[in-house]
Structure 1
């Protein structure tokens, strides 16, 4: 068949411009999440952000909450993460693994090969002193006695699910004494008893009637103690538990094994258990334990803007929304015949959060606003007659922050009273929020947050809301509008978003899938704008002092997954935030490479934080994973593949890629059993412990070597180094197919077909890698598919997202669509098993919230529509049967191409391709393949692929 490419001439292009201008006169379609009730929880609130500042909007008519973050507010401070001379135990660890002594290897590595912890030297002494001081307090010595009067103490409900941060002591570490009075049955007289308290975090002293019956200093381990008969009396007895919690809040932390409720039973006497859950009396003894040694820092919340509207309790016509194509959140309602509106935005050009409040009648807008924070060290002060300042210091570390809340009104009265800004008799008011910290760079915290806010305040005070809004839209919309997707089902938009999320398990919602893609673009533009730090596990949104996993950067998939969609979804500049992190990690990673492996180049393990720690953390059975840096470096190559920017490849990407390859050229060792070069010590992320030769490592390293070799050829440089890498490639352990027809996860054929672990790391070569494809090695592709079948469909949010991408690469659109419905389905559905899904605000649920699923899921949806990882563009490779018609515009492909296309009745209907680099265009659709030379900047209308 003759290729039929039509080059658009100047006249045709002019006609297009006229048509586009005409279309722009039409009312813009709003792409939104919307709800008919206020948010009651953080997972219902709506996110806004400008890359530096993030906020969650609740939209409550009576008490509005705007919980906000500033991206550089972390605990900790710059420090040394590497352990000197760790390399001295490397050979011993490797030999133990070669000898099959995994347990001994892990124990040795835990002692000698993990990173340095903050406060690791001083904590043992300070802890012993603090515990001793607590135990000698009069309130503790008397409070454990049965005769003590606790009638004035507050109560906390403790049950088999309990953790104290959910029961009344949020974000608190320290010492708390709990007491409960129980009745021992007469028939238990003279019996020793067994008490099951479930898991406790971190350190307990457990008493009955003033007698110590057990103590354990272990985090989250079960407390089961024997109560000697001599300490027990029939009738009233008092249990007292002093819990010393040092890190991440805790206390009673649920019964996980054995009896599923906290209870007491007699020893060697058959009787029903005495359940001891319920209301316990408690007393906070001390809130300031010594700082606990931790491997890495935690991302911190900053504060809350709280706005109270008196009398707004009886409302109608309530609606709140997030217009993601405008990056505007809105709340509206009617109260006492007055219509109220609120509009919220986070401006990147003006670096502030702004809120416009209005009423449709004069003098009806009356409210009080204040600043609050969870941080214990803070100060609130008046700056001028309409500005309050909140200054904070993070307790654990050296970070400080200042936020200014400014409120103005053209027709109302604004004054400050009792650290509140009071607005009276207005019809319109504008709130402006700015914030800064002392962070200047990952290794420099010499900034002055208050001085920064002082300099910014007169600038923002001079800005009218309409000016802020206009500059915000002019900045945001040109980027957002580059891309569009339409999958149909528009009628579903009439249903509130939370209901759509809950309904998708029973009724497909293709428009929700399209919305999910655009929401991911919105979240990236809100948390990863150029010039800022990259989005972490939660983007820039976090409400907790002790967030799950520290809200850090987990680089054994989560951080990388965040950036899967940025190139295809036409927000390439957001990749620069990750490149900034890679630059910094490479500097610290060179130190780690030398200290741990006596190697050249740079290495990064499975987690990092604001201070760019690169050493192994947590536990040796999963923290010693060497390919985090190599995976990160692949994103530099991906950016080049999409943009074809050779200057970027030469000056930015190649030096980092080469440095990573230099490390592995030194690191790889010969396996004594097979003779192959392998990666060890390492692991298959969070699965199977410390091993020699995990499949994922080899896939990433092979891919890295090939990229460096190709880059060397493109740039005509380092040919000797490239030749050395080629030689090593021939010696590396290959992918292997196991006895179950699966792709082996390890060198040994030991995969468990009943294992449903959330990580599917050994399929990296399928996605995001491109080593294993249907074109090049179908047998390995079949084995990889079998492995995924064994792992099953259930998973946490990001795991579901990865599986969408896998099934797209396997060209099974219907199975991928099944995974989409699981990812988009309600995480709050009581029928749901295995976690995952979406919260009412469409945030991904790990659970709890992790933003990686949002980004990975969006990447998977477009991977079903177009793939370009095999050297050509493949159209509609994994289109589900139910996606019969749709369109997508502004979709980027590797090689420097941008695609607009439509399909109808499951078949391609129209296609145009913009060539941005002038490369040869190769397109596959069904069984057809066409090729054509192109010129940079020209658009090609393609007809012959259309059936």
Structure 2
């Protein structure tokens, strides 16, 4: 039996994090569902502050040498002081909200009864319905329905308002923005259109500083934007007028509202105010095109487009009802258990992925595409020391490879801006990116402190996604297309590595993102040393992937040989005195034992090198590191908790994975299932979805043609006793369907485009299977 995949609420949203999200990849909106005064808050994915980053100056290499010298002398506090003073850069730009559409209905709508607000995840349609009793006859009611969706084929947000009583739809529509703006009206024979025109600031206060100086606008520079909200009533007796910047509808049978939007964005290298596109011309064209299509066709094409992606995967647990769990979550009446909410939460993550990341759109930022604040948390940017990567962890395993594509477009562009950073800041070939990126593909360090800013490994980590996309799709053309980007990241790492006296290669300077140790000499909190475990793990992972790619493409054999030699000399994993995996090169005292990041466990998840290491001592140490961090308060942010579940899933610890899935649901999830960082961040949603997939099926890295295996139900909690999952993807390009009953595998179906043998594991049992001509393996009793 299939779970009903809906989010249902019996009352309107009281705050933004209770509203329901819709998106078509480029446009996003939040539907509040207020009967008397509806609010639709909307965004467009290229509406950012600022403009292209200035070229780097030739003034960093001496400072880099100075920092490295202090590190080699173990003068860590002096190294950090020098880095903070000489190596940091400007803050990233902000992702901005475009506007709010308000619909004010007659006073009688305050008497709404039988209220229902619903989001259908399979169709990506939000419905708000309620009844209003007749004043003269209490047994008679008028039923009002609003249907809202964000259409990818039409590239517009669409709303239809209907009533069971003839000629009863009346409201006033107005639009506003937190940004500098003006409102006007356009009209023709069939519709009137509210036009919102505005401008984004060129700069503002950084996220960690005071509110002063305020956001700054420039007369010539900065992003401009236009939004059209067209009102198309139907019926014979309606009136449509414009007054005081409001469109007023009276006595319509139904009303269709079409919202389109555009900005002056003209590429990441062009200043949008002086060298941008004409957002008004673009938006007017979108509006005319959208309004020429019938509502029935718009809705049909939208549902078909969305469901074609969404319905690839099914996940069912016997005896669960997601909306009962959602009600418990909203009412805080009793704890929600993983079995109750896992299927709905998992599919909500897939829903969000389709809604905020489609081909030819921007990648999902810290909040996807949904933001209501002019100065959002952490600038609502692309944070590359965990958050952006986590956004795309479920893309491949959850059968949404197309939604991964915007990230690779960002990588191509980041490799352009990142070349200047690699050369001018580090004296290296290739390209590098630090921990913050934005629409303008910022690659230089941010401001504030080296503990987050001085980390040129963001590009390298992102490049591991190239292998993940290839090995799930087996798309060799993609690998050829992305090879220059991948090679550039590897070139940077090769040059950045420093040779120690014993011949080992280390990163220097090195941080473990956002974490600190205590300087043994000064006892001060400090972040800079060398050979941080995460740096070395990313380097080890990317070098291995690069060597494998060169073999697949039969190219760059000489450089691949150099990388192979360097791989052998990388600083090895080390243990602390009490048997945990070291986070830094030395066994430093931790400044915060319950830190939210678990960067040193990268090699366990999302990486493979440590997990597939034949030395069990290091895997045991990784597990001890994780449990120690959690026992000291770690895992307290949404994304950190999601990463924790992923790690326990990879380590095949079902009880622990379920425990932290319950924490994620009960403590770190808003009423609308958005993730709590706090405040809202989308990464925990995507990390949680990836974790559920990892609990149900795992596959090997496939590096060097080895570790090509599938493991079924590797981390199944006891409470998930019976159920099924269909359509998950694993490395090698295979799709997997699994059914289980009373905790035991009932059957599995594995489909592939290729041929050959496959090792399949279930509960420490192994079977080598051969794909037949039909590319299918059916497994049942042999593994039970």
Alignment partner, residue 521 of structure 2: none
Kindly tell me: are residues 808 and 94 of structure 1, through their superposed partners in 2, closer, same or farther at Cα, counting changes over 3 Å? same
Q: What is the aligned-residue RMSD (CA, Å)?
A: 1.8
Question: What are the within-5 Å matches in structure 2 for residues 789-868 of structure 1?
Answer: 789-792=627-630, 794-826=635-667, 837-868=668-699
Q: Is the 8 A contact 1:867 1:873 kept in 2?
A: yes
Q: Deviation of residue 620 (structure 1)?
A: 2.1
| 1:873 and 2:701 aligned | no
Check whether the contact 2:396–2:472 (CA below 8 A) recurs between aligned residues. yes
Most deviating of 104-113 and 871-880: 104-113
| Structure 2 counterpart of 1:121 | none
Alignment of 1:180-329 (within 5 A): 295-311=91-107, 312-329=109-126
* Residue of 288, 311, 317 corresponding to 1:481: 311
Matched, 1:331 2:128: yes
Aligned residue in 1 for 2:177: 373
Contact map agreement 1:370 1:421 (CA 8 A) in 2: yes
Question: Which position in structure 2 is the counterpart of 1:471?
Answer: 301
2:602 alignment partner in structure 1: 764
Match for residue 43 of structure 2? Answer: 69
- Following superposition, the deviation at residue 577 of structure 1 comes to 0.6
Q: Deviations over 1:395-427 (max 9, x none)?
A: 325100000010111113222222111111122
Separation in structure 2 between the aligned mates of residue 478 and residue 821 of structure 1, nearest angstrom: 31
Change beyond 3 A, Cα 1:484–1:501? farther
| 1:907 aligned residue (744, 748, 751) | 744
Shift of 1:774: 6.4
Partner of 2:158: 354
Q: Residue 341 of structure 1 aligns with which residue?
A: 145
1:344 deviation in Å? 0.4
Q: Is contact 2:645-2:658 (8 Å) kept?
A: yes
Deviations 1:710-762 (A, max 9, x none): 11111111111111111111211001111111000001012549700000000
Distance 1:572 1:850, change over 3 A: same
- Residue in 1 aligned with 2:88? 114
Alignment check: 8 A CA contact 2:769 2:777 kept: no
Instruction: Kindly provide the CA deviation profile for residues 748-781 of structure 1, in whole angstroms up to 9, marking residues without a partner as x.
Output: 0125497000000000000000012266221100
Identify if the C-alpha distance between structure 1 residues 785 and 296 changes in structure 2 by more than 3 Å, giving closer, same or farther.
same
Q: Which residue of 1 aligns with 2:616?
A: 778
In structure 1, C-alpha distance between the alignment counterparts of 2:689 and 2:125, rounded to whole Å = 21
Kindly tell me: are residues 946 and 74 of structure 1, through their superposed partners in 2, closer, same or farther at Cα, counting changes over 3 Å? same
Q: Does 1:886 align with 2:683?
A: no
The correspondence of residues 126-137 of structure 1 with structure 2, limited to 5 A, is: none
In structure 2, the residue matched to 1:177 is none
Q: Structure 1 residues 585, 498: CA separation in 2 closer, same or farther (over 3 Å shift)? A: farther
2:549 to 700, 708, 711: 711
Give the match's secondary structure for 2:110.
Answer: coil
Residue 707 of structure 1 deviates from its aligned partner by: 0.8
Residues 667 and 550 from structure 1, CA distance in 2 versus in 1: closer, same or farther, beyond 3 angstroms?
same
Distance 2:569 2:334 in 1: 48
Tell me by how many angstroms 1:378 deviates: 3.1
Question: Deviations along 1:803-841, whole A, 9 cap, x unmatched?
Answer: 000111111111100111111114xxxxxxxxxx00111
Kindly indicate whether the alpha-carbon contact (under 8 Å) linking 1:501 and 1:838 is maintained by their aligned counterparts in 2.
Answer: no
- Measured in 2, the distance between the counterparts of 1:374 and 1:799 equals 32
Match of 2:137 in 1: none
1:457 lines up with 2:248 in the alignment:
no
CA contact (8 A) 1:643 1:917 kept: no
2:349 to 514, 520, 545: 520
What is residue 439 of structure 1 aligned with on the other side? Answer: 265
Q: Shift in Å at residue 81 of structure 1? A: 5.3
Matched, 1:428 2:428: no
Which residue is 1:729 aligned to? 567
Q: Which has the larger radius of gyration?
A: 1
Corresponding residue for residue 776 of structure 2: 939
Q: 2:231 aligns with which of 390, 407, 426?
A: 407
For 2:64 and 2:544, the matched residues in 1 are separated by 27
* 1:686 and 2:514 aligned: yes
Q: Displacement of 1:84 after TM fit?
A: 2.8
How far does residue 882 in structure 1 lie from its aligned partner after superposition? 0.9
- The question of 1:418 aligning with 2:244 is answered yes
Structure 1 Cα separation of the partners of residues 734 and 453 of structure 2: 39
Match of 1:543, SS? coil
1:49 alignment partner, one of 6, 23, 26:
23
Change (3 A) 1:75 1:545: same
1:775-799 CA distances to partner (integer Å, 9 max, x unpaired)? 6221100000000011115410000
* SS at 2:636 equivalent: coil
- 1:409-808 matches, cutoff 5 A: 409-411=233-235, 412-444=238-270, 445=272, 446-491=276-321, 493=323, 495=324, 497-500=326-329, 506-618=335-447, 619-652=449-482, 654-672=483-501, 675-688=503-516, 689-752=527-590, 755-773=593-611, 776-792=614-630, 794-808=635-649
Shift of 1:909: 0.5
TM-score by length of 2: 0.91
CA separation of 1:525 and 1:504: change in aligned 2, threshold 3 A: farther
Q: CA deviation at 1:490?
A: 2.8
Residue range with higher mean Cα deviation, 501-510 or 745-754: 501-510
**8 Å CA contact retained: 1:488, 1:511:** no
Runs of 4+ in 1 over 6 A off after TM superposition: none
**What is the alpha-carbon distance in structure 1 between the residues aligned to residue 708 and residue 3 of structure 2?**
36
Distance 1:686 1:935 in 2: 50
* Structure 2 counterpart SS, 1:565: helix
Distance 1:936 1:681, change over 3 A: farther
Q: Deviations over 1:292-332 (max 9, x none)?
A: xxx21000000000000112111210010111111001111
- Distance of aligned partners of 1:545 and 1:753 in 2 relative to their CA distance in 1, 3 Å threshold: closer
8 Å CA contact retained: 2:159, 2:256: yes
Task: State TM-score, norm by structure 1.
Answer: 0.75
Separation of aligned partners in 2, 1:919 and 1:80: 52
CA displacement 1:92-149 (0-9 Å, x = unmatched): 110111112222222222232222x3xxxxxxxxxxxxxxxxxxxxxxxxxxxxxxxx
Residue by residue over 1:631-668, the C-alpha shift from the partner in whole angstroms, topping out at 9 and shown as x without a partner, is 0000011011111122221232x222211111111110
| Whole-angstrom CA distance in 1 between matches of 2:192 and 2:485 | 49
Q: What secondary structure, in the 3-state scheme, does the structure 2 residue paired with 1:534 have? A: coil
Change (3 A) 1:92 1:383: farther
Give the 3 Å change call, closer, same or farther, for CA 751–788 of structure 1 in structure 2.
farther
CA contact (8 A) 2:25 2:355 kept: yes
**How far apart in 1 are the matches of 2:388 and 2:773?**
33
- Give the match's secondary structure for 2:173: strand
* Displacement after TM superposition at 1:852 (Å): 0.3
Query: Structure 1 CA distance, aligned partners of 2:624 and 2:325?
Result: 39
2:522 maps to which residue?
none
Cα 1:936/1:702, change in 2 over 3 Å: farther
Following superposition, the deviation at residue 871 of structure 1 comes to: 2.5
| 1:922 matched residue in structure 2 | 759
| Secondary structure in 2 matching 1:911 | strand
